[in-house]
Amino acid sequence: MEPVPSDVECVARSLREPKAFEAIFDRHFGAVHRYLHRRAGRELADELAAETFALAFERRSSCRASDSVLPWLYGIATNLLRRSWRAERRQLHAYSRSGVDRWVAYEDETVARVDGSSLDARLARALVAMRPRQRDALLLYALADLSYEEIALALDVPVGTVRTWLHRARLTAQRELAVDADSSPLATTGVDLNG
């Protein structure tokens, strides 16, 4: 049985045989789509995920990954997301106020209502308070499970910069989570009990 080629081998081979890039798509489309869905909603995720892979194919010769190309793909997706950061910010604002996350497709609407916790609403408020690059780094860390080094690769910045961004994101989160619950009743109840 032939060994399964690694991501890097597939990308290298796609320079000669473009079809080889389809393996990258098959392996990582789901993960990239879920990341984009979480950040920008399903409709935009459909569009941006497709664009991410088309763009990745065009730029495959500049891929510097040494193992998985997923961080590189997340980096492209994150850059594409910058065009829609206002939409993301609006959504986070709404989420922090209502506690109901409308961009997540729950199978049961009741679950959506009950699952919206006060903590999530405050986290959304913290994300709104962060600078875009700090938010990018944080969500690559938390949603995409990337290490600091992988985030640096994805965003094309030094690891030290990633550490700085995440440190500042942490401070913002601490500050927002420490806000007195009474100051924002809707955010802290989280669940819309009246439906």
Q: Which residues are near other proteins by CB under 8 A?
A: 12, 15-16, 18-19, 21-22, 25, 29-30, 33-34, 37-38, 42, 45-46, 49-51, 53-54, 57-64, 101, 104-106, 111-112, 115, 117, 119-120, 123, 127, 138-139, 141-143, 158, 166, 169-170, 173-174, 177
Report the alpha-carbon distance of residue 109 to residue 68 in Å, rounded. 36
| 3-class state of residue 167 by DSSP | helix
When the beta carbons of 1 and 73 are compared against other proteins, the nearer one is: 73
Q: Which tokens go with 37? A: 């869905």
State the DSSP code for 5. Answer: P
186 Cα distance to chain centroid: 26
- Compare residues 54 and 186 and give the one whose CB is closer to other proteins: 54
Q: How far is the CB of 18 from other proteins (least distance, A)?
A: 4
- Minimum separation from the CB atom of position 172 to other proteins (A): 9
| Residue 35 contacts residue 77 (beta carbons within 8 Å) | yes
CB closer to other proteins, 119 vs 186: 119
Residues 125 and 96 sit within 8 Å (Cβ to Cβ) = yes
Output the DSSP codes for 63-112: ---SS-SHHHHHHHHHHHHGGGHHHHHHHHHHHHHH---TTS--SSHHHH
Other C-beta atoms closer than 10 Å to the C-beta of 38 total 18
- Name the minimum Å distance from CB 88 to other proteins: 12
Separation of alpha carbons 171 and 176, rounded Å = 9
Tell the smallest beta-carbon distance from residue 106 to other proteins (Å): 5
Return the number of the residue (1 or 43) whose C-beta is nearest other proteins.
Answer: 43
- The smaller minimum CB distance to other proteins, of residues 6 and 64, is found at 64
